[in-house]
Amino acid sequence: MTRVPLQKKSALTVILSLIFFLVIIATSSELVARTPWVEKISPYRSVGNYHYQFEIKWFRLQDYVKQNGGVDVIILGSSLANTGIDPDVMAEAFYEQTGVNLRIFNFGVEGLTVAPNSVTAGILVARYHPALLVYVTEMRDFVAGNGMAYETRFLADPWLQYELGNFNGYGWAVDHSAALQHYLPYRNWMRADFLETMPVYLVRNKYTTASGYEPEFAYGRDLDANPDPNDPNEAANFQEYSNYQIAPARLGNLRTILDLKQDDGTPVLIVEMPVHSSFYIYVGGEGVHQQFQQTLASFIHFNGGIFLPAEACNDIPLEGRSNRWHLNYLGAPIFSKCLGQQLSILADQQNTDFVNVNMGGLK
């Protein structure tokens, strides 16, 4: 009979004891993290994604669905959607026209163009099966290279890859562990910029409403004055948006969103954001904008979507804008009310109230 040396027995005992201890700690942490007490003292959650605002929206939507029993309409887009649409105002306007209460959530995320949003759209529709997906866009969304830094970093995230079906241990652990989700908001506590970035996260978390709207409190200046190509402060915009062309790859991303109607049965409404008319100076004038609208409308209709051009909701006063692209807290309610009214017209045309009855995909 072979005997195990005493030293090896001791080392094995230590290793097994350590593993047992770690399992106990992990299990205890997980149990504690799932208690209402932890939710009260540390309501912040993260999946380790670099984009704090995406994470705020991700968990805010989960809470919204739990509290409301589902979601009927999900709004996607960049920061223009984030600060430009108040779902509560939109839902109220729809109710006034139809008598139907819609559950609407704003998942607009700063910096994300149509490319990463086409990925997010698939994940959200598969998880929540909304009765309508609204994608808010404008001309810059279709410029090749615009937002690539955000896109590359966002799509490389291991947790996001796990959500897309590419299994990895980190993504699985984060997706299933409440303890990790409560720890990860503070993961960068040793970084030199932590005291700068964390307050920004806390402020955004505070001001983002239960339905996903984050108001903008800034006011734009001299927006009615056309931008000057000789102004050094405007040089970057003229360089990026002049000689405007729609990138075919971006249309491919938009098709991915539109295909959700066939893949999941979710109708898709594409809304053009009513940017200030002075923006079109950058791209070459209103004629270029009209050509963009014609191309986009034709593409959307061909692929089974619905297009709402900017002119449908363009009655935004100057004081309702924070710059040539974004609406502030005064402009957002005006735009949101118009969207709710337009949605009621669309509901009548489509003979539907957009109330979600398919909640089987909820996780």
278-297: average pLDDT: 96
230-259: average pLDDT: 95
Q: Where are the beta strands (DSSP E) in 192-344?
A: 268-272, 306-308
DSSP character at residue 227: P
Instruction: Return the exposure string of 270-293: e unless at least 16 CB atoms fall within 10 Å of the residue's CB, then b.
Output: bbbbbbbeebbbbbeeeebbeebb
User: For 2-18, what is each residue's pLDDT tens digit?
Assistant: 555 655 556 666 666 66
The fold of the 43-350 domain, in CATH, is Rossmann fold (3.40.50)
DSSP 182-224: HHGGGTTTTSTTHHHHHHHHHHHHHHS-TTS--------SSTT
Q: How confident is the model at residue 293 (pLDDT cuts 50, 70, 90)?
A: very high
152-169: average pLDDT: 94
The per-residue pLDDT for 333 is 98
HSE-CB of 229 using CA atoms within 13 angstroms:
10
3-state secondary structure 112-127: CCHHHHHHHHHHHHHH
The per-residue pLDDT for 127 is 96
Question: Helix, strand, or coil here: 272?
Answer: strand
- pLDDT of 299 > 70? The answer is yes
The per-residue pLDDT for 9 is 57
**Edge-to-edge strand order for the sheet containing 73-76?**
104-106, 73-76, 132-137, 268-272, 306-308
What is the distance between the alpha carbons of residues 139 and 74, in angstroms, rounded to a whole number?
A: 21
Model-level pTM? Answer: 0.90
- The Cα-based distances of 55 to 169, 179, 202, 211, 245 in angstroms read 19, 16, 12, 14, 32
154-158: average pLDDT: 93
- pLDDT of 20 > 80? The answer is no
Share of the chain above pLDDT 70, in %: 88
Q: Quote the radius of gyration of the chain (alpha carbons, Å).
A: 24
The per-residue pLDDT for 98 is 95
User: For 77-94, what is each residue's pLDDT tens digit?
Assistant: 999 999 999 999 999 999
39-66: average pLDDT: 91
Specify which of 166-170, 179-183, 190-194 reaches the highest per-range mean pLDDT.
Answer: 166-170
- Residue ranges of the domains in the chain? 11-41, 43-350
Greater confidence (191 vs 205) lies with 205
The average confidence (pLDDT) of the chain is: 90
The encoded tokens of residue 5 equal 């040396």
